[in-house]
Amino acid sequence: MSFAFTRLTIGKKIVLGYIASGLVTIIVGVYAITSLGGLSKLNNSIVTKDFPAIETVKRMEDSLLAQDLYEKRYLIIKDPGIQKIFNERGEEFKRGIIRLQSIYGKGNATIPEIIRLHEEYENFFKEEANFIVKKYERTASKISEEKLKPRVDELFKLLQHIGDEARVAQETKLQLANRVGEKAFTITIFLSLLSLIVGIAFATFLTLNISASINELKRATEFIGSGKFDHELRIKANDEVGDLAESFKRMSQRLKLLEQMSLDASPLTRLPGNLAIEKELLSRIVSGEKFAFCYIDIDNFKAYNDKYGYAKGSIVLKEVGDIITAVVRELGDKEDFIGHIGGDDYVLITDPPKVGPICNEIIDRFDKTIPCFYNKDDLERGYIVALNRDNVKQSFPIMTVSIAVVTNEKRIISGTMQVAEIAAELKHYAKSIPRSIYVVDQRRAILL
């Protein structure tokens, strides 16, 4: 079972870094919001339950204390107006009970006991008031002492119990809120610093990684600039920098090859020389593709060069190179190869079907151009007089071009030496014909 891993480009690395930093930031935010939510609940409980409960109990104690005071006054003064005030304070106490019920709901068992005791307290006060109206002061005093006073005391105890519970709950919640706040602050700071460290670490790693790769490429560029094409790049990144390094390696190899070709190339025509020619020819032989190797030679060039001089001879050589290049550019394609062996010998490698049109055009342009390089007398005479290889004066005709074409269409070509031997034979035959001509090897492979 195989797994395909997604290639991490620089863009993806940056996005992943942002995602990681963003996740930590989100965690910080979520934790901070959660902590604030907990603090908010605690504060809300204190504000909506504990503080109101404490305040309500205090008011109920004041109301109950007022009732007890006016009950004692009524027992002495017997003024009906005092009884009215007693009842008003009782209504205030009952409103406090309603308030406590809204705060605690049914979760506090003390409130029903307070309601019961306060109802008994008010009923005994009515009984006391009836005895006072009937002039039974002694009985009224006995009710006040034995029935009202114990219930007031019990009510105060119950109210104090609720108040103490509320104050304890308030203090506990305040302490808890303080601890939660400190913890939330500490963890939030820690997570924020972690987010910052993660972001800085990632940015530093990515920056140093890219910077190191760029410096390595810079050093490699300096090596190439000094002509050292074999410098090994120590870049293993699997991203755009790695791609750039691979492209750089290929470029170095190509530059090395181009330098070799440049050193091998003819300084006059700038066409590839012997090494490039042999490499190109061998490549075509090994690949098995059909090719035509055209050996191009200028007839009678040495005599012209001897009479007209090296400078004019060089111009002729460059002009012939330009003619071949122009013809191949027009009638050939980018796969065709042109080389300059040296002196007046050139090479053209093309596809066999294009040999006829290209060779005919080269010959045509050569024959039209070459007369321009002779003076009028030599041109009218049709030859020049120069020394031959034996230092004997000899007549040499106007220059012509001979092209020997070797192909693997009808025979198997096994090596470059075989091509050279066949081309030499064909060239010797072509030069025996006193005009510009191209000849093609027509021999077939011998079947045994």
Distance, CA of 306 to CA of 310 (rounded, Å): 7
At 414, which CATH number? 3.30.70.270
Q: What is the pLDDT of residue 156?
A: 93
Please state the domain count of the chain: 2
Domain assignment of residue 255, yes or no: no
Domain assignment of residue 406, yes or no: yes
Asked which of 171, 199, 227 is the last residue of a domain, the reply is 199
Q: What is the pLDDT along the chain (448 residues), one digit of tens a residue?
A: 444 445 667 776 777 777 877 787 788 778 778 877 777 787 888 888 888 989 999 999 999 999 999 989 988 888 889 989 999 999 999 999 999 989 888 778 889 999 999 999 999 999 999 999 888 889 999 999 999 999 999 999 999 999 999 899 889 988 888 888 788 778 878 877 887 887 788 778 777 777 777 777 777 776 676 666 566 666 666 666 666 767 767 776 666 665 655 556 678 888 998 888 999 999 999 998 999 999 999 999 999 999 999 999 999 999 999 999 999 999 999 899 999 998 999 999 999 999 999 999 999 999 999 999 999 999 999 999 887 777 888 889 999 999 999 999 888 888 999 999 999 999 999 999 999 999 998 876 544 3
Domain assignment of residue 309, yes or no: yes
Distance, CA of 388 to CA of 407 (rounded, Å): 34
Q: Per-residue b/e over 77-113, b at no fewer than 16 CB within 10 Å? A: eeeeebbebbeebbeebbebbebbeebbeeebeebee
CA distances to 212, 253, 339 from 219, in Å: 11, 16, 35
Residues 278 and 361 in one domain: yes
Q: What is the pLDDT of residue 7?
A: 62
Residues 286 and 398 in one domain: yes
Q: What does the angle CA 382 – CA 327 – CA 369 come to, to the nearest 5 degrees?
A: 20
Sheet holding 337-342, edge to edge: 337-342, 345-350, 292-299, 400-407, 437-440
Domain assignment of residue 218, yes or no: no
> How many other C-beta atoms lie within 10 A of the C-beta of residue 179?
10
Q: What is the pLDDT of residue 90?
A: 92
Residues 279 and 194 in one domain: no
Tokens linked to 106: 């049914």
Residues 154 and 283 in one domain: no
Residues 194 and 91 in one domain: yes
Q: What is the pLDDT of residue 254?
A: 66
Q: Which of 399, 369, 372, 392 is nearest to 305 (CA)?
A: 399
Residues 290 and 185 in one domain: no
At 189, which CATH number? 1.20.120.1730
Domain assignment of residue 217, yes or no: no
Q: What is the pLDDT of residue 117?
A: 94
Distance, CA of 338 to CA of 346 (rounded, Å): 8
Residues 179 and 289 in one domain: no
Distance, CA of 184 to CA of 39 (rounded, Å): 10
Domain assignment of residue 80, yes or no: yes
Q: Which domain holds residue 380?
A: 270-440
Q: What is the pLDDT of residue 36?
A: 75
Tokens linked to 253: 């190899």
Residues 17 and 160 in one domain: yes
Residues 290 and 404 in one domain: yes
Tokens linked to 433: 């014909």
pTM of the model: 0.49
Residues 318 and 178 in one domain: no
Asked which of 164, 199, 234 is the last residue of a domain, the reply is 199
Residues 394 and 293 in one domain: yes
CA distances to 341, 403, 433 from 360, in Å: 21, 10, 16
Domain assignment of residue 246, yes or no: no
Domain assignment of residue 223, yes or no: no
Residues 184 and 98 in one domain: yes
Asked which of 173, 199, 225 is the last residue of a domain, the reply is 199
